[in-house]
Amino acid sequence: MHPELLRRIVMQKDPRFGVRVTCAGPLSSPSALRKSAIAADQLGFDTLWVHDYYVWNKLLDSVHISCGSKESFVAAVEQADYEPTFFESITNLAYLAGITDRIRLGLAVLCLPYREPIVTAKQLACIDVLSGGRLELGIGQGAAKSTHNVEFEVMDISRGTKVRHTREVFEAMRTIWTEDVATFHGDFVNFDNAEVFPKPLQKPCPPIWIGGSAEKSQEMIADYADGWLSFWLSPAQFPQAIDSLFTRMENKGRDTDNFTVGTEIHVYLADTTEQARSEAERTVLAFEEGYEGTTGIMSEGGKSADMLAEIWNSSLIGSPEDVGDEIERYIEAGCTAFEMKFIYQSVDQLIEQWDRFQSEVAPRFASR
């Protein structure tokens, strides 16, 4: 596909801004989850997002920071009642569906090798129906061992078959969502004559997002996804990546016109970019350990020459003006959806950051 045609296709889409709510880490609690979700809804964000872990520990709390900051972790572990808390993703969305009115409900991403497909398909369909059709479903194969993920080992699930396992679970769930009497047989999933209702309100199912830049992930995106939720990619890396992905999709007979390219990205705002980088630095430095092996896949040779530089270059950390300029570069490169993971030391600071983004950054994209 010619790059200019590619840009025109993607540029027709309005930018979408979503936010990760306080569902994990030392700042998470029922009140924090409720407060952040309601604020995200009232502030006008397109989507709230949660993520998915069963097994979560102190090390992950300290380096795999998606809700909070390194400072909030350090303060928490000094308390006698510290626990590495992670609220389960589907439970979160069921709760959040009942306390929000408009905002879409995103899961980035549900790790399918851990899930039984009939129960999971029913849970997700019920969330979609009970929320009035607001579910955005990200699916994935589970985190790499290099990121300190231990769930495969704890749950005795093979890492070597996780891609085939993910495909089967999704295909089985899709069968349940689209057939009145569903039957499925594979290597990991087998059932006959399953009558499971209700079906999702969104037809044939909620929008499907898939993350990842590795070959097998890109193949799954081309086969199943309505959107790609990338990670650790700078604007300069998107045109070639999108062109490659769209070529895969076209070779499989899939339409790319309604496909959405997005990114999961860290955000922090301050009066100046220098101040923002200084205040976010301690958290960003933790990412080097927490996300080991997840950067560089779209770089030449498939490996990042400077992991920390790549993390900074694929984040939105700066003044509102500079962050807005960087978002412009993402959009011009073909990335139009943003799952923003703000860095914050308290829930009040998170909401202050969100309010500043909506008042000082988002308006410049409202008329696109």
Examine residue 174 and state whether it is found in any structural domain, yes or no: no
Least confident span in 28-42, 112-126, 300-314, 341-355: 300-314
Examine residue 191 and state whether it is found in any structural domain, yes or no: no
CATH of the domain at 77: 3.20.20.30
- Residue 287's domain comprises 3-155+205-365
pLDDT of 294 = 75
Query: What average pLDDT score do residues 113-137 get?
Result: 98
Q: Which residue has the tokens 């009115």?
A: 101
Q: How many domains does the chain have?
A: 1
Q: Quickly state the pLDDT bin for 102 (edges 50, 70, 90).
A: very high
Query: What average pLDDT score do residues 272-277 get?
Result: 98
pLDDT of 290 = 85
Q: Look at residue 298 and tell me whether its pLDDT is greater than 90.
A: no
Examine residue 193 and state whether it is found in any structural domain, yes or no: no
Examine residue 161 and state whether it is found in any structural domain, yes or no: no
Q: Look at residue 10 and tell me whether its pLDDT is greater than 90.
A: no
Examine residue 241 and state whether it is found in any structural domain, yes or no: yes
Query: What average pLDDT score do residues 52-56 get?
Result: 97
Q: Quickly state the pLDDT bin for 295 (edges 50, 70, 90).
A: low
DSSP state letters, 156-184: T--STTHHHHHHHHHHHHHHHHH-SSEEE
Q: Look at residue 146 and tell me whether its pLDDT is greater than 70.
A: yes
Cα(314)–Cα(344) distance, integer angstroms: 18
pTM for the full model?
Answer: 0.95
pLDDT of 299 = 54
In the chain, which residue ranges form alpha helices assigned H by DSSP? Answer: 3-11, 30-43, 58-63, 70-77, 89-99, 117-130, 151-155, 162-178, 215-224, 238-251, 273-290, 307-313, 320-333, 347-360
Cα(6)–Cα(45) distance, integer angstroms: 27
Q: Look at residue 297 and tell me whether its pLDDT is greater than 60.
A: no
pLDDT of 293 = 72
Residues 168-197 have pLDDT tens digits of: 999 999 999 999 999 999 999 999 999 999
Percent of the chain with pLDDT over 70: 93
Q: Quickly state the pLDDT bin for 110 (edges 50, 70, 90).
A: very high
Examine residue 180 and state whether it is found in any structural domain, yes or no: no
Examine residue 284 and state whether it is found in any structural domain, yes or no: yes
Examine residue 169 and state whether it is found in any structural domain, yes or no: no
